[in-house]
Structure 1
Amino acid sequence: MIAFSRQLRSVNLSQCYCLSSQVLRPLVTMPANQLQTLILYGCGKMDSQLMVDIIHRHSTTLQCIRLTDINDAIMEAIGLCRSLRDLGLEHCASLSNAALTRYFQSCRQLTHLRMRDISHLSSHHVRCVAESSKTLHHFDMSECNGVNSSDGFFCLATECTSLDTLLLAYQTGVTNQAMQLFLSHCHSLKHVDVSGCRLLTDQAFLSNHVSLETLNISGLDLLTSDSIQQLLTRLGSLKELCLGVTYDLDEADRILNIINQEQCKFFIDTERCYTICRTPIHTRELDIPP
């Protein structure tokens, strides 16, 4: 199918675990600099030299690359893609510290970056991203256990101020001060996930961030119910607040009863990990007594 698609611009074979490298060989023989999107999440057993050849073949046009379990040679090839805006990497155990440093020191054009379970990723690399990728809008990092200090996040918050999406689930280096810096410097921030960042307390969310629309705080055991209530009342743009399935449902109902005394402003969706959702305005108007 790939071989006969003359106008092929995008390849998304995410989670196709049984694919062989042979399937992708037509991408090397098709016209050069035609492919714009290459997504192979879950396809970590592809021949690495073939992947390098594909990326080299389309280095001028590739704008989105998302891969699993890559090595240094593939990372070097990605570094030649000057039109790349969106990069996603996951489960990369063999990707070296040096290769990560070389790439992140020169990734000036990125707007979207997702990294999951990158063994050698460190706070130093987060600083490199912050210093070179000031155009970032979307930053997603999870299960990167080597990022265990907050220094990189401090730099990211103060340098990448155009961020609108910040996803840092289960990152041990996320502290109150780091969260405060993100909320005070990134004025376009709309979506935040700090689930499992267990160092965070009420102090992390003191800012009246006017643009925040979704916030995931599941697993934050140090966050008090008073703080959750204040978030719901202070943040006028907040549409969803995820508490997580381990949160006390009775306590969540108590918070909502207080907030909804005069009008049904929020409800809880138990099928979405106990997410408190803002009631649509037209629905609230129906609840107003004559």
Structure 2
Amino acid sequence: MRGHDWINSTLPDELIVEILCRLDSKSSRDACSLVCKRWLRLERLSRESLRIGASGSPNALVKLLARRFPNVRNVFIDERLSVPLPVQFRGRLTEYALESEFYSENGETGSEDNGTQSFCLSDAGLTAVGEGFSKIETLSLIWCSNITNVGLRSITEHCKSLKALDLQGCYIGDQGIAAVGEFCKQLEDLNLRFCEGLTDSGLVSLVVGCAKTLKSLGVAACAKITDKSLEAVGSHCTSLEILSLDSEFIRDKGVLAVAQGCPLLKTLKLQCVNVSDEALQGVGNSCLSLEILALYSFQIFTDKQLSELALLYCQRIGNYALCEIGKGCKFLQALHLVDCASIGDDAICSIASGCKNLKKLHIRRCYEVGNKGIVAVGENCKFLADLSLRFCDRVGDEALIAIGQGCSLHHLNVSGCHHIGDAGIIAIARGCPQLSYLDVSVLQNLGDMAMAELGEGCPLLKDVVLSHCRQITDVGLSYLVSKCTLLETCHMVYCPGITTAGVATVITSCAYIKKVLVEKWKVSPRTKRRAGSIISYLCVDL
């Protein structure tokens, strides 16, 4: 019957809530809440996550949100972010703020001590989170510098189902973090980055309290946290899977304690300048479940089940270390090397011969790596799909010919490898038909012939970066885009051979194009009218 509300008269609350929960975007949920008062009420009941940025009266905002969304399980508060309030909240929020100020002036509450603090979440606001969101499981408090041990203890007493807690940049102390261990017996994930007021006493208390459930721990820039805390982790947290440490005060003793006491450790990230080879040897011998290892400023180590390894800015690591990886880590699938000046072809050859399951190889500014090592990769690593060789200036066409003959790449970045020219890229075009991403920027010897071959051989290409390629012209570009009809992004700044006509060709030939980066003067008025929204310009007009 026309005008009859079939949905509201037929569907029960439970079914509408289930439908709302399956909507995958906030905008869709917000739109549904505007249908009628019933849907607004049900949408509020179904909301599980809230993200709150900096606001004028954060305590009042938290109280308002708690009343409207009682079933929220995930609360993310980040006072680095400035988020404008929805119009419908502003009037009500002002009332709450004025009410808080009135109480403060009359001595009935200490939630707002002064005008400056009203712009930061205080202990009163944190208490409101605990009282209002009793079902909370995830709480993130990023740079909430005004909360103290009192507020943290209050929320732990109310939120005993808490599973994830992020206190990055919060100046809390031992009493507050000890309260987490006392009350939150289901805690699995804890981030204590930049919690400068914390000492071993508080962290040890937490570890003992959450020993059975803690799976992830992050500590950075906590000057008073020492090996004593890590020894407690190793002694009690047998379920720990992820550990991230950035500290000048952690030494071998602490890392060894974790390696030996946490058999389920899968991810280990260390920025600890005072940790030596002894600790890393212990990690290799004890952490047989390790999958991801990220190290900064270390030397040699071994391991038996490593699947991903990142060595970033490790100037003292040489070929011997990577040769050991090649011998013992046959399951390695991803290797990242950045600014490792002592690593050369011998290391890459060892990786290639011993890690035949390698799927991703990213090397940047490792100037001792040349054709020999990459040829070995092409001959041995048949599953390689993602190769990045940025500014490895000893790598040339010979290396890419071997890759094209032995691998089927999806992703290739050889920017800054100035010895690579048409022959190498043509080999890739003929051997890698699944290629979807290509960065050949700053290749001075690359020309139109390679572009024509890419068009013929790589029809799935979606993203291409041609910037600073002086030999590529409109002719080569037209060959490329005429066959690569799926192209979505094209970067071509500082290419003197590409003119206004070439830019227009890209726009007219590529139906799916989403972004074109080019000099402003190369875009004609007609092209700008046709596709102005997808064109990005170089910052400096040329």
Answer whether TM exceeds 0.5 for this pair. Answer: yes
SS in 2 for 1:222: coil
CA–CA separation in structure 2 for the residues paired with 1:241 and 1:43: 36
SS in 2 for 1:101: helix
Q: Shift of residue 212 of structure 1?
A: 0.5
CA–CA separation in structure 2 for the residues paired with 1:218 and 1:17: 41
- Looking at secondary structure, tell me which structure has more helix per residue: 2
Report what 2:509 is aligned to.
234
1:182 aligned to 2:454? yes
Bigger mean CA offset, 37-46 vs 174-183: 37-46
Report the TM-score, using the length of structure 2 for normalisation.
0.44
Question: Structure 1 residues 218, 180: closer, same or farther in 2, change over 3 A?
Answer: same
User: How many residues get paired?
Assistant: 260
Q: Where do 5+ consecutive residues of structure 2 fail to align?
A: 1-242, 244-254, 289-302
CA–CA separation in structure 1 for the residues paired with 2:274 and 2:493: 36
Report what 2:310 is aligned to.
39
Report what 2:158 is aligned to.
none
Q: Residue 517 of structure 2 contacts residue 536 of structure 2 at CA under 8 Å; is this kept in 1?
A: no
CA–CA separation in structure 2 for the residues paired with 1:175 and 1:17: 46
Select 1:28's aligned residue among 284, 304, 325.
284
CA–CA separation in structure 2 for the residues paired with 1:241 and 1:19: 47
Question: Structure 1 residues 98, 82: closer, same or farther in 2, change over 3 A?
Answer: closer
CA–CA separation in structure 2 for the residues paired with 1:73 and 1:20: 26
Select 2:333's aligned residue among 52, 63, 66.
63
Report what 1:284 is aligned to.
none
Question: Structure 1 residues 26, 88: closer, same or farther in 2, change over 3 A?
Answer: farther
1:166 aligned to 2:438? yes
Q: Residue 437 of structure 2 contacts residue 461 of structure 2 at CA under 8 Å; is this kept in 1?
A: yes
Q: Residue 516 of structure 2 contacts residue 535 of structure 2 at CA under 8 Å; is this kept in 1?
A: no
Report what 2:351 is aligned to.
78
SS in 1 for 2:372: helix
Question: Structure 1 residues 144, 269: closer, same or farther in 2, change over 3 A?
Answer: closer
Q: Residue 418 of structure 2 contacts residue 445 of structure 2 at CA under 8 Å; is this kept in 1?
A: no
Q: Shift of residue 66 of structure 1?
A: 0.9
1:126 aligned to 2:126? no
Tell me the percent identity. 21
Matches within 5 A, 1:7-22: 7-10=264-267, 22=277
Deviations 1:7-32, CA, capped at 9 Å, x for gaps? 3445667xx69687647444422325
Question: Structure 1 residues 223, 232: closer, same or farther in 2, change over 3 A?
Answer: same
CA–CA separation in structure 2 for the residues paired with 1:170 and 1:106: 28
Rg larger for:
2
Q: Residue 12 of structure 1 contacts residue 37 of structure 1 at CA under 8 Å; is this kept in 2?
A: no
SS in 1 for 2:464: strand
Q: Shift of residue 126 of structure 1?
A: 1.0
Matches within 5 A, 1:208-219: 208=482, 209-219=484-494
Residue identity opposite 1:110 in structure 2: L
CA–CA separation in structure 2 for the residues paired with 1:71 and 1:202: 38
Residue identity opposite 1:91 in structure 2: R
Select 2:410's aligned residue among 137, 149, 152.
137
Q: Residue 21 of structure 1 contacts residue 50 of structure 1 at CA under 8 Å; is this kept in 2?
A: no
Deviations 1:239-272, CA, capped at 9 Å, x for gaps? 11111xxx2x355372444426xxxx635445x7
Deviations 1:154-211, CA, capped at 9 Å, x for gaps? 1111111110111111112321110111122211111111111110111112242211
Report the TM-score, using the length of structure 1 for normalisation.
0.78
CA–CA separation in structure 1 for the residues paired with 2:494 and 2:274: 37
SS in 2 for 1:154: helix
Question: Structure 1 residues 17, 9: closer, same or farther in 2, change over 3 A?
Answer: closer
Q: Residue 488 of structure 2 contacts residue 512 of structure 2 at CA under 8 Å; is this kept in 1?
A: yes
Select 1:113's aligned residue among 363, 387, 400.
387
Q: Residue 8 of structure 1 contacts residue 34 of structure 1 at CA under 8 Å; is this kept in 2?
A: no
CA–CA separation in structure 1 for the residues paired with 2:469 and 2:535: 23
Residue identity opposite 2:321 in structure 1: L
Q: Residue 491 of structure 2 contacts residue 517 of structure 2 at CA under 8 Å; is this kept in 1?
A: yes
SS in 1 for 2:380: coil
Q: Residue 217 of structure 1 contacts residue 242 of structure 1 at CA under 8 Å; is this kept in 2?
A: yes
Q: Shift of residue 237 of structure 1?
A: 0.7
CA–CA separation in structure 1 for the residues paired with 2:268 and 2:442: 30
RMSD: 2.8
Q: Shift of residue 88 of structure 1?
A: 1.1
SS in 1 for 2:365: strand
